[in-house]
Amino acid sequence: MSSAKIKILLSVFVITGASAYVVGDTLFAENAEHLTYFHNADVVLAQPEAMTGKRIRMGGHVEKGSIFQKKGTLEYQFDVRPVLAMVTHQDVAEKTLTVRYKGTVPDTFKEDAEVIVGGALGADGVFEAKELIAKCPSKYEAAKKEAGTY
């Protein structure tokens, strides 16, 4: 075997080994606490004991009439209901989960907006959000909303 072929073969092994290490290190054991999973609000409502204290992202719609801002602060409290198109736990599809958030809110944050909050569910059953993302409305959502399929 020529030295050029040996160099190429060695390079392939090094790159493959490094790639396998990075993927394995990201996905397994000691780094599992650094991963943030996404769940629809119904999953969090259906399994509160499994979700309490874990860092997650949760999606849902802001319940109408539930947005409260503490006067003179950036502290918000609002309720989130599951996105109906993503519901896997029908028994909690109509329930809401209270979210507390401290920080600036996006311009698109309003009643019935689809949001993603990142944080953890507290022992008191309130989701303590560290981040808040509000989805921009789509011109195609009006028809879905009227049909009740969004």
Domain identity same for 46 and 106: yes
Number of domains, the chain: 2
**Over its length of 150 residues, how does the chain's per-residue pLDDT go in tens digits?**
788 888 888 888 889 988 888 777 766 656 566 678 899 999 999 999 999 999 999 999 999 999 999 999 999 999 999 998 889 999 999 999 999 999 999 999 999 999 999 999 999 999 999 999 998 876 655 555 566 655
Domain identity same for 134 and 60: yes
CA distances from 65 to 23, 79, 116 (A): 45, 9, 18
Strand positions, DSSP E, the chain = 37-40, 55-62, 68-69, 75-81, 97-102, 114-121, 127-134
CA 103, CA 61: separation in Å to the nearest integer?
Answer: 19
Domain identity same for 66 and 119: yes
Domain span including residue 129? 36-147
